[in-house]
Amino acid sequence: MPDLTVRQQQIVDFIQLRQEQEGICPSRAEIADHFGFRSRNAVNEHLRLIRQKGFIGETEGKMRALKLITPLQRHRQKVANIPIFGSIPAGFAQAKVQEAKGCVSIDIGTLGITPTPGTFALEVRGDSMIGKHIMDGDIVVLEQGVNPKSGEVVAALIDNESTLKTFLLNRGKPFLRAENPKYPDLIPAQELVIQGVFRALIRRAAG
C-alpha cells in the first residue's frame, strides 16, 4: 500500500487526535482552518489521495463524514476470498461435475490481480501442466468470461470433458496442448468451451 506524504500524515494524525479527544472526526472546514488551506478544494484533494491509499473512508449514511481505517482494516482490504469450484484434471480430460469446495483467501497485492465477480479457483489434479510449473495439488485462479489469447492457460470443456491446458490456434482453429510431452494435443471433435483463463497460481506449503 502506498505511503502517505508528510502533509497527508499530518492530516491523518489531526483526524485521529480530534477523534480521540472529541469522539468525532473534524469537518473539512476545520481541517482547512487548522492547516491554513485557502479553500476546501485543497482539503478535498488531500482527502481524496489519502482515501485512495486506504487510510480514511466515509461513514455510511452520513454525507462527507470521515472515518479512519485501522491497519487491520487496511490489511483486510488487500485480501479477497475466491470461491473454489472443485478440482480440474491436468492430465487426460475427464467428465466432471462442478462442486463447491469453499473459498481460498488471496493477498491481492502479492498475486497482482484484481478479482471480479467472474474470478474463481480450481484445484489441480495431474501432471500435464508441469512445463508451466503447475503441479498436482496447486490451486489455479481463473477469470470467467474472458477470451483467451493463444498461449494462455485455460480451464476448458472439450467435448463435455473438463481439463486444464494451454490454448493454441492452428490456422485459426483452436486446440489444447499439455505442457508435458507424454500427453497428446486435444482437438475438439464437436465443441470447445473456455470456462476460465488463468490469472494466478497458489501453491500450498509442504506439510
Please give the domain boundaries of the chain with CATH numbers for all domains.
6-76 (1.10.10.10), 78-202 (2.10.109.10)
How far is CA 185 from its chain centroid? Answer: 31
The three-state secondary structure class of 181 is coil
pLDDT in tens, 25-78: 788 888 999 999 988 889 889 988 888 877 777 654 444 467 776 654 555 556
Options 87, 132, 162, 165, the catalytic residue: 165
* pLDDT band at 12; cut points 50, 70, 90: confident
Task: Give me the helices (H) in the chain, please.
Answer: 6-22, 28-35, 40-52, 71-77, 108-111
* Bridge partners (DSSP) listed for residue 139: 123, 202
Options 53, 87, 128, 150, the catalytic residue: 128
Q: Would you call 165 a catalytic residue per the annotation?
A: yes
Q: Is the pTM of this model over 0.85?
A: no
Q: Which residue has the higher pLDDT, 110 or 115?
A: 115
The x, y and z cell numbers of residue 96, run together, are: 466432471
